[in-house]
Amino acid sequence: MSGRFDLVGIGMTSQRTRNRLVERLREKGIRDEAVLGAIGSVPRHIFIDEALAHRAYEDTSLPIGQNQTISQPFVVALMTQTLITGPRSRVLEVGTGSGYQTAVLASFMGTGGRIDRLYTIERYAALSERARERLDAMGRYGIRYRHGDGYQGWPEEGPFDGIIVTAAPPMVPEALIDQLAPGGRLVVPVGGDSGQELKVFDRTPDGIVSETVEQVRFVPLVKGLG
Ligand code: SAH
């Protein structure tokens, strides 16, 4: 089959393969129908290189350049489900990368949605710009992008009701805890090469309460700009 026909094929079958991915995630334990709906409606193939587009709806991470990866759909769904347990008016994402997780979160914006304002930080300017182009092309406006170091959070725009970190620091960054609003929740993979745990930190009236959700593997959260 020629490359041209491959691409046409992706366009025609993507909804079907997306639905199959949604069923996969349901089997793996994702229960929030709105999260499953978001995964079913965001075209993941536009967030990766054309050469890999035929693998877009496999439940796997894939390279996106700059030595970074687009996260595995199950992990995106799990993190989203863990973050959006209710309304989270102001949400910060650290590690924009391809923009796929951003797009899934953006599905919760708009009238009656669980998110009012969405902010996303990336340390590579090129990744941030491409993510913005893709989301603009999808008609997802109103997201705030920053080329910056997510270790610092986004103090000018905080505090946040939800913070999601899509790269792993060795220890949870203090600035991100500080930028949690009352009732706010931080979802972050913590650890190094030998293993990472997806953790949740909630700012409760009794202080910060944390729990571990799952064993995961992310690229490292790196200090400074790329
Ligand atoms: N959510 C993204 C995940 C990309 S991988 C996606 O699904 O495509 C993690 C991203 O975090 C990479 O793009 C990496 O450059 C970025 N990153 C790593 N350290 C960072 C930091 N300190 N501040 C902001 N972004 C960071």
139 contacts: CB under 8 Å, gap ≥ 6: none
SS3 (DSSP) at 157: coil
Q: Are 65 and 125 in contact (CB under 8 A)?
A: no
Nearest CA to ligand 1 atom 4: 97
Q: Are 164 and 199 in contact (CB under 8 A)?
A: no
| Cα of 3 from ligand 1 centre, angstroms | 31
C-alpha pair distances (Å), 193 with each of 27, 166, 174, 197, 224: 28, 15, 21, 11, 20
Better pLDDT: 142 or 9: 142
| Cα of 168 from ligand 1 centre, angstroms | 9
Q: Is the pLDDT of residue 3 over 50?
A: no
CA-to-CA distance for 184 and 88, rounded, in angstroms? 8
**Rounded average pLDDT over 189-194:** 94
Better pLDDT: 186 or 11: 186
Domains, in order of start, for the chain = 60-216 (3.40.50.150)
Q: Is the pLDDT of residue 4 over 60?
A: no
Question: What's the distance, Cα to Cα, between the start and end of the chain in Å?
Answer: 39
Q: Which residues have a catalytic role annotated?
A: 71
- Output the pTM of the full model: 0.94
| Cα of 2 from ligand 1 centre, angstroms | 34
- The pLDDT, as a whole number, for residue 11 is 57
CA-to-CA distance for 29 and 82, rounded, in angstroms? 12
| Cα of 204 from ligand 1 centre, angstroms | 28
Q: Which residues have CB under 6 Å of ligand 1? A: 64, 68-71, 94-95, 97-98, 100-101, 121-124, 127, 149-151, 166-167, 219, 221-223, 226
Encode pLDDT of 109-157 as tens digits.
Answer: 998 899 999 999 999 999 999 999 999 999 999 999 999 999 999 999 9
For the CA of 69, the closest atom of ligand 1 is 5
Q: Are 221 and 150 in contact (CB under 8 A)?
A: yes
Nearest CA to ligand 1 atom 6: 70
Tell which one of 60, 102, 123, 146 to mutate to probe ligand 1, the residue whose CB is within 8 A of the most ligand atoms: 123
